[in-house]
Amino acid sequence: MTDEPEHTSDGHFVIIKGRRWRATDPELPTDVDEVLRHELMRARRAVGTALKADDAAAEKAARARVQRTKVALGERGTPWWEQSTDERRERWTGLVQELRREA
């Protein structure tokens, strides 16, 4: 068994447990993908922490972080296959630069 999920024939979506989800932009450089996935996990943990604390404001902020990161990964927002190479790069550059400054 492989860790890689099944992709649709056009590569735009992955199939996980019978559901179709938009695939991550395959043109993301490896280092960018790593930074964004790390942030996504941090944001998801923050959602869980906020839910456990019953903190609506923290939950809203954490969910906004998840959304921003998913857009940067190409999994939400304008489909990556409809964007030019420059638009794709612009989609993730700002967040990655911000996250690297924080590190």
> Structural domain tally of the chain?
1
Query: In this structure, how many other beta carbons lie within 10 angstroms of the beta carbon of residue 5?
Result: 12
pLDDT band at 3 (very low <50, low <70, confident <90, very high): confident
pLDDT per residue as tens digits for the range 51-97:
999 999 999 999 999 999 999 999 999 999 999 999 999 999 999 99
For residue 64, being part of any structural domain is answered with yes
Query: What integer pLDDT is reported at residue 51 of this predicted model?
Result: 98
pLDDT in tens, 16-55: 999 999 999 999 999 999 999 999 999 999 999 999 999 9
- pLDDT at residue 2 in the model: 58
| 8 in a structural domain | no
Q: In this structure, is residue 15 part of a structural domain? A: no
Q: Is residue 20 part of a domain?
A: no
With respect to residue 50, please indicate whether it lies within any of the assigned structural domains.
Answer: yes
Residue 48 lies in a domain: yes
Predicted pLDDT at 103: 76
- Tell me if 65 is assigned to some domain: yes
pTM reported for the whole predicted model: 0.91
Inter-CA distances, 21 with 13, 51, 58, Å: 5, 25, 26
Return the axis-axis angle of helices 56-73 and 30-53, rounded to nearest 10°: 160
Closest of 59, 20, 92, 77 to residue 10, by C-alpha: 20
**C-alpha angle 24-26-47 in degrees, rounded to nearest 5:** 25
Within a 10 A sphere around the Cβ of 80, how many other Cβ atoms? 21
Q: Which domain range does residue 70 map to?
A: 27-102
Report whether pLDDT(1) > 70: no
